[in-house]
Chains A and B, each alone.
Chain A
Amino acid sequence: MSFLVVYLLLLKATLSSFSGLAALPIVRHDFVVQRHLLTDHQLNTALVVGRSTPGPKGLYLIAVGYFAAGVPGAVAGWLAVVTPAILVIPLLLFARRRIDDPRAKSALRAIVIASAGVSLSATLPLSADALRNPPLYIIAAVSLALLIFTAWDTLWVMLGAALASLALVLAGVMTIPT
């Protein structure tokens, strides 16, 4: 499969979605159902990789590109996930001219607040998946407290959580969630 075709297929998916895994149905249709470039198992693996690595969940598209066309496919995947980001600049230019309008400010405030609500809704299924035993609840609660009440860097909080979890497993206090 050529670099260009993989790029265009993945770009179609990213341009027609607005968050994390929203492009998944399009990707599955194009890569698994229609062109047989991937199996469902590979698509699942790509999703797990995207979830197990830092950064946006949408990076599973890099793994999709890799499975479809090797390293050039992974590069096509990277290009497909970064290309739409450029579109924010004309939006920003347009919005900045109107930002002093009280109605525009109010609309912006409402979008930010609604984003927080939407993100909180998305946290619930993630929590059910990520917090499968009591020590993990404690790790999540301590992380929340550190991020709200201290100036600790998020990187160190994440790293500390990973090390705490590892230590708890090695000490036999916690089992690895399957």
Chain B
Amino acid sequence: MGTRSAVSVKPSLAQLSAVFFRIGNFTFGGGSATTAALQREIVERRRWYDTLQFGLCYALARVTPGTNLFAFSTASGWLLLGWRGALAALLVASVPCCVLVALVTVGFDSWSRNRFFQAAIAGALAASVGALLASFWLLVRPYLDRPHLFQTLVIVAASIALSLLAGWPPLAVLLLAGVVGFFWKGPAQ
């Protein structure tokens, strides 16, 4: 497991809440784009935890039922500040965007006919495609070092083929990857 980012000090509850509030509630493109933005902020910019800890939260969130982003927020908060961090991250990442969804639902008919709203959403959704591609790169990049390159390329290619061509559900692909990784350790760490 790559650990290219050195870890600095743990955040305060206010700092943790501010990051999960800002990124959890203002990133378009779904949970993957938001998790990628959180990865950039927490691992790359602030270095609150390293790639190994990010991988742990990310992988477990993917195999937890429900909304992956909220499981990721809870796991990250718990890892950084225990129960209060978990609850704070979960609440600040979920309450404002859920309130926004409820408000948009109430006024959806008038919002959806608004030309300015439609134009702005089109741009935000285009940016979310960029964010998702960036997320792919940021996730895979730590494992492209020479000893792991072949294994990484095989897993990426197989997961894409199983998802896109064979139509496997994400959970099945991830569980298979876990089993393969368990038995195929690759080069010494």
The count of chain B contact residues (Cβ–Cβ below 8 Å) is 115
Among A20, A67, A147, the residue within 8 A (CB) of B131 is: A147
Besides the known contacts A53-B100, A55-B25, A55-B34, 17 further A-B residue pairs in the complex with CB atoms under 8 A apart:
A18-B169, A49-B101, A53-B104, A54-B27, A82-B67, A87-B66, A92-B79, A113-B156, A121-B164, A130-B129, A137-B126, A144-B131, A144-B134, A147-B40, A147-B130, A162-B120, A176-B119
Asked if A113 contacts B128 (CB within 8 A), the reply is no
For residues 75 through 113 of chain A, which have their beta carbon under 8 Å from a beta carbon of chain B? 77-78, 81-89, 91-92, 95-96, 99, 102-113
Total count of chain A residues near the partner, CB < 8 A: 106
Given A63-B102, A158-B28, do A119 and B135 touch, yes or no (CB 8 Å)?
Answer: yes
**A residues near B124, Cβ cutoff 8 Å:** 158, 161-162, 165
Q: Is the CB of B182 within 8 A of A143?
A: no
Do B23 and A154 have beta carbons less than 8 Å apart? yes
Verify if A4 is at the interface (C-beta below 8 Å from B): no
Could you list some 18 contacts between A and B, CB below 8 A? A54-B28, A56-B34, A74-B98, A88-B61, A91-B63, A107-B179, A107-B182, A108-B181, A118-B174, A119-B135, A120-B156, A121-B160, A123-B32, A130-B126, A139-B126, A162-B124, A165-B120, A165-B123
CB of A9 closer than 8 Å to a CB of B: no
Cβ-defined contact, B98 with A54, below 8 A:
no
Q: Is the interface of A mostly helix, strand, loop or mixed?
A: helix
Residues of A within 8 A of B182 (CB): 103-104, 106-107, 110
Q: How far is the CA of A155 from the CA of B38 in the complex (A)?
A: 11
CB pair A108–B1 under 8 Å, yes or no, is: yes
Whether B97 lies near A84 (C-beta < 8 A) is: no
The 8 Å CB contact of B66, one of A15, A57, A126, is: A15
Choose one: A77, A123, A148, A151; the contact of B129 (CB below 8 Å): A123
Whether A113 lies near B23 (C-beta < 8 A) is no
A165 to chain B minimum Cβ distance, whole angstroms, is 2
Give the top 10 A-B pairs by smallest Cβ distance, nearest first. A165-B123, A110-B181, A84-B66, A143-B130, A117-B159, A114-B177, A161-B127, A55-B97, A144-B130, A154-B37
Whether the pair B126, A140 counts as a contact (CB closer than 8 A) is yes
Map CB proximity to A onto B165-185 as digits: 1 under 8 Å, 0 otherwise. Answer: 000011101101111111111
Q: Are B74 and A86 in contact (CB under 8 A)?
A: yes
Task: Return the chain A residue nearest B102 by Cβ.
Answer: A74
Q: Which residues of B contact A (CB under 8 A)?
A: 1-2, 22-34, 36-37, 40-41, 44-45, 52, 55-75, 78-79, 86, 90, 93-95, 97-98, 100-102, 104-106, 108, 112, 115-116, 118-140, 143, 148, 151-152, 155-160, 163-164, 169-171, 173-174, 176-186, 188-189
A82 touches B104 (CB 8 A): no
Greatest chain B CB density within 10 A among A14, A107, A112, A131 is at A112
A54 and B25 form a contact (CB under 8 A): yes
Q: Mark A116-147, 1 if CB is under 8 A from B, else 0.
A: 11111111101101111000110111111111
Q: Is the CB of B71 within 8 A of A176?
A: no
Is A157 positioned at the interface, with any CB of B under 8 Å from its CB? yes
